[in-house]
Structure 1
């Protein structure tokens, strides 16, 4: 049996031991799941009555749909702003001008080091103190600010790493052709780097969507907050959180599917034209004679 790159193939005893450990683990997980189910069932959290409110349109209109709208709004705006900020700071860190490079590096390292929730809370109270936004938009502005600054710094590092991953001959060839640094970055390096960065960017966009739940701490109306409100109003915390978790998973999968589809489409669009097939020698001879 061929060995693996990371470890040797297990022998007969190791395979038996692995099967035994797997069986014991499965039994232990099932036992824990049964105990949890029994405790929840004893407290009446899994009865049919606890799930009935989700069959009414009033609950969805009053609680669930506003939470979905808040989550998608904050995520969509934050994603767009974080991409813009990330590319600006990422290109700034690659700049040939030392002041721009230093300023961009300081901003990236600072925003990466500060927790997202701290930036949300700080922005929320800063906007409230200076009356920057109307009161009903303060929480949304705080969430968007925190998500934009943190994820913009992360995307900046992704951009920098993507450009550095390209062969150095690309920049050297463009310099030999007389292109400036800005022309090289815009026309040659960034278009190629974006394609290679897409898988990592997709993962970061999913993180933005999930981190909107942190807005719960500044009274932002999003899905997790609405789930706890439903549980408090109807006394069904476990069913409410299960439904919210299922909706969050569906949104994340939808975003991942769309981003993966976009990645494949961009990769196909960047493929060059198919090479022309060579003509037989006799046809080339006839053509040269004008036949």
Structure 2
């Protein structure tokens, strides 16, 4: 083995394994003790009585409170995602523009809205909407706040994804005469999409969860958290309702990440295999134009 090879991880010896085992046991004991303490406190308050948990299994609780709130949460998240994704892609590409003024404008927009907390953007949008139209629209205010903030964050995700591609992709595109828009739309963005997908999905999860901020601040926006709070107040089982909506949020996020994982696998499977494209400026092709050398996973090279 080469002496220049960096060692990333040393296999633990007997003492290290013994120490790790002891620390693991101590941690599990402390965790079990903490969970038991929480359980004992809740049990002493009667929080595990069936009469407090029964309402969350009743159809009337869902139809009256939770389902309308869940629909408002999903609706705001979907609208925000549909708008924020293309805005993020546009701003991300603009930050890579050859025109300085385009890069400058896009950079100002991205850095400005990334620096402002999304909750302030929602309140500002609510106030601005009322000032301009003379009426309030909590849903529009939530969507505007989410789009402005998350669109700016997604712009950085798109920019980083494009810049992570090998420079040979850009050079090859320019060598075969593609314009900047063709290079972005046909070469760089499709390849970067697979690499960006985990980060994009993480931001979509943030959008879904941040819809709760609108219900916390804006009167009239009855999303899932506010609906559960109202149900808990009326049915006198506040803790149980918050446990329930925590589970609902976890399920929604798992569905979102699972769908994204399936999409990522499908995108990778749709490719014929990992290929490295290089442009060879040779006179072998007719007219002396650039030829494309394709190297497949077995190392075989062909000229396209």
Q: Which structure dedicates a bigger proportion of its chain to helix?
A: 1
Match of residue 118 from structure 2: 116
- Residue 78 (structure 1) aligned to one of 77, 80, 96: 80
Q: State the Cα distance separating 1:15 from its structure 2 match.
A: 2.0
Match of residue 155 from structure 2: 156
Match of residue 217 from structure 2: 217
Match of residue 24 from structure 1: 26
Q: Which structure dedicates a bigger proportion of its chain to strand?
A: 2
CA distance in 2, matches of 1:142, 1:270: 41
CA distance in 1, matches of 2:165, 2:19: 46
Work out whether residues 90 and 160 of structure 1, in 8 Å CA contact, stay in contact via their aligned partners in 2: yes
Corresponding residue SS for 2:86:
helix
CA distance in 2, matches of 1:214, 1:178: 48
Deviates further, 231-240 or 67-76: 231-240
Q: State the Cα distance separating 1:237 from its structure 2 match.
A: 1.5
Match of residue 188 from structure 2: 189
CA distance in 2, matches of 1:116, 1:270: 38
Match of residue 171 from structure 1: 170
Q: State the Cα distance separating 1:10 from its structure 2 match.
A: 2.5
CA distance in 1, matches of 2:14, 2:269: 46
| TM-score w.r.t. length of structure 1 | 0.87
Q: State the Cα distance separating 1:82 from its structure 2 match.
A: 0.8
CA distance in 2, matches of 1:183, 1:12: 59
| TM-score w.r.t. length of structure 2 | 0.83
- Residue 69 (structure 1) aligned to one of 65, 71, 74: 71
Q: State the Cα distance separating 1:93 from its structure 2 match.
A: 0.5
Point out where structure 2 has 5 or more consecutive residues left out of the alignment: 1-5, 275-295, 297-304
Deviates further, 94-103 or 261-270: 261-270
Work out whether residues 63 and 230 of structure 1, in 8 Å CA contact, stay in contact via their aligned partners in 2: yes
Q: State the Cα distance separating 1:203 from its structure 2 match.
A: 1.4
Q: State the Cα distance separating 1:161 from its structure 2 match.
A: 0.9
Deviates further, 16-25 or 79-88: 16-25
Match of residue 285 from structure 1: none
